[in-house]
Amino acid sequence: MPDNNDKIQSSSIRTPNILLIVGIVIIAANLRPAITSVGPLIGEIRTDLNLSNGQAGIITTLPLIGFAVLSILAPRLGRRFGNTFVMFSGLIVLTIGILIRSIPSIAMLYIGTAVLGLAIAVCNVLLPGLIKQKFPTRVGMMTGIYSTAMGVFAAIASGISVPLAKGFNMSWSGSLAVWAALAVIAAILWLPQIRQYRNKNGGTKIELGGLWRSPLAWQVTLFLGFTSLAFYITVAWLPEILIDRGLSVTAAGWMLSLAQLAGLPASFTIPMLADRYSDQRMFIVIITILYIFGLAGLFLESTTWVALSVICIGLSQGASFSLALTLIGLRARNPEQVSELSGMAQSFGYSLAAVGPMLFGYLRDFTHSWTLPLILLIGSVLCLFLAGLGAGRNLYVTSDAERTRSTTK
């Protein structure tokens, strides 16, 4: 029979903690601005530092490499030091990385970008497991809340980057440095969680690497990977595509912001809807149709339908990314397995995504046209569709140990 302490602990896990929710939201708000603020400024950065399109694409690629490198280690760090403490450390490192990147130098630009990528990777991986642990019956709702926060601040960063640089005479470096303040605010608001939860996160032992031979785990991984590939290519290059179609630099930045804003309703509602269904494949079909329709509009020379195309792209991106995060929580049985699957999916998935912006830029340099790069982008959406059909099935991932036990019975 459980004692009173067990009842109190169980009740505290079931009862939503407002401070914890606020902390999760403010951390999520920091996971995209450092990246999406670059796209509208990439032309100015390229000119100021004399970069090629391929070299400019590295600015978006480096954080993804950081995601890939640290994502596989983040669950182990969380178990060793506590998820809340590791995420706090990530916010401090994120602040440092943003400030280093704001120094107008090619070396500092690349070094700071790599550092902030490592910092974001930690929170990217550990948040889904923390949600599964603290809100086990509200995975869809909490995923919707934090993915929406990510989308809101991604959109704000895209929209105000050029006005900050031009209107306030901050230059591109000052515009990018602004987001260090948001990371500092998040670190301050997260401090109470370290004291409250640090001792409860450590000490859990699970089989590391036990999902790497699970077909379903790979399908979830590839779905996140191709989702991220398409997202980061768009974040890096959509403004440049639209500028070549005749839009001003400011208007192109706001179009990227519109894409982010259009994705917000989907980011919030898709996780909750997906949580209500045992099978999520119908969402994959709808997302793919919207995505391809939106991308097809970018082939047009006319800007008449550009807003509609951008809205369709934004809706599909918001839906696919939030669904990918939700599938990580739904396809695993417990918080520890969620963290392991999250680490696997984000490590390999972002390795795949890291190729996108740089390859897109080099294809543009090589062909002097957006046609072949956009075909590449549509191909990634079709791969997203195929992986999603597997990841959306009503199944749980199985570790090596679980498969061994099932075969020996």
Could you tell me if residue 342 is inside a domain? yes
Is the CB of residue 318 less than 8 Å from the CB of residue 36?
no
Could you tell me if residue 12 is inside a domain? no
Please report, as a single letter, which amino acid is at residue 53. N
Q: Residue 249 — very low, low, confident or very high, per pLDDT cuts 50/70/90? A: confident
Amino acid 54: pLDDT: 74
Could you tell me if residue 111 is inside a domain? yes
What is the overall mean pLDDT for the chain?
85
> Domain holding 309: CATH number?
1.20.1250.20
Q: Residue 349 — very low, low, confident or very high, per pLDDT cuts 50/70/90? A: confident
Q: Tens digit of pLDDT for each residue in 112-161?
A: 999 999 999 999 889 988 888 888 888 888 989 988 898 889 888 888 88
Closest CA to 73 of 134, 114, 124: 124
According to the per-residue pLDDT averaged within each range, which of 173-177, 229-233, 340-344, 401-405 is highest? 173-177
Q: Residue 197 — very low, low, confident or very high, per pLDDT cuts 50/70/90? A: low
Q: Residue 6 — very low, low, confident or very high, per pLDDT cuts 50/70/90? A: very low
Higher-confidence residue: 61 or 375? 375
Write out the two tokens for 290.
């919207």
Please report, as a single letter, which amino acid is at residue 126. L
Could you tell me if residue 9 is inside a domain? no
Could you tell me if residue 5 is inside a domain? no
Output the DSSP codes for 241-256: HHHHTT--HHHHHHHH
According to the per-residue pLDDT averaged within each range, which of 15-29, 339-353, 383-397 is highest? 383-397
Q: What is the domain count for the chain?
A: 1
In 135-248, where does DSSP find H-type helix? 139-167, 171-177, 179-201, 215-244
Of 59-63, 124-128, 228-232, the range with the lowest mean pLDDT is 59-63
What is the domain extent for residue 108? 17-200+211-408
Query: Is the predicted pLDDT of residue 208 greater than 70, yes or no?
Result: no
In the chain, % helix, strand, coil (3-state, to 5) comes to 80, 0, 20
**What are the φ and ψ backbone dihedral angles of 359, each rounded to 5 degrees?**
-65, -40
Could you tell me if residue 1 is inside a domain? no
**Residues 229-236: what's their mean pLDDT?**
86
**Residues 205-233: what's their mean pLDDT?**
82
Q: Residue 322 — very low, low, confident or very high, per pLDDT cuts 50/70/90? A: very high
Is the CB of residue 384 less than 8 Å from the CB of residue 224?
no
Could you tell me if residue 380 is inside a domain? yes
Q: Residue 261 — very low, low, confident or very high, per pLDDT cuts 50/70/90? A: confident
**Residues 259-267: what's their mean pLDDT?**
88
Give me the percent of the chain exceeding a pLDDT of 90. Answer: 41
**Residues 293-320: what's their mean pLDDT?**
90
Amino acid 53: pLDDT: 75
Could you tell me if residue 33 is inside a domain? yes
Q: Tens digit of pLDDT for each residue in 62-120?
A: 887 888 888 888 888 888 888 889 999 999 999 999 999 999 899 999 999 999 999 99
Is the CB of residue 130 less than 8 Å from the CB of residue 255?
no
Amino acid 166: pLDDT: 85
In 277-305, where does DSSP find H-type helix? 281-296
**Residues 173-191: what's their mean pLDDT?**
94
Query: Is the predicted pLDDT of residue 242 greater than 70, yes or no?
Result: yes
Q: Residue 311 — very low, low, confident or very high, per pLDDT cuts 50/70/90? A: very high
Q: Residue 4 — very low, low, confident or very high, per pLDDT cuts 50/70/90? A: very low
Amino acid 375: pLDDT: 94
Query: Is the predicted pLDDT of residue 252 greater than 90, yes or no?
Result: no
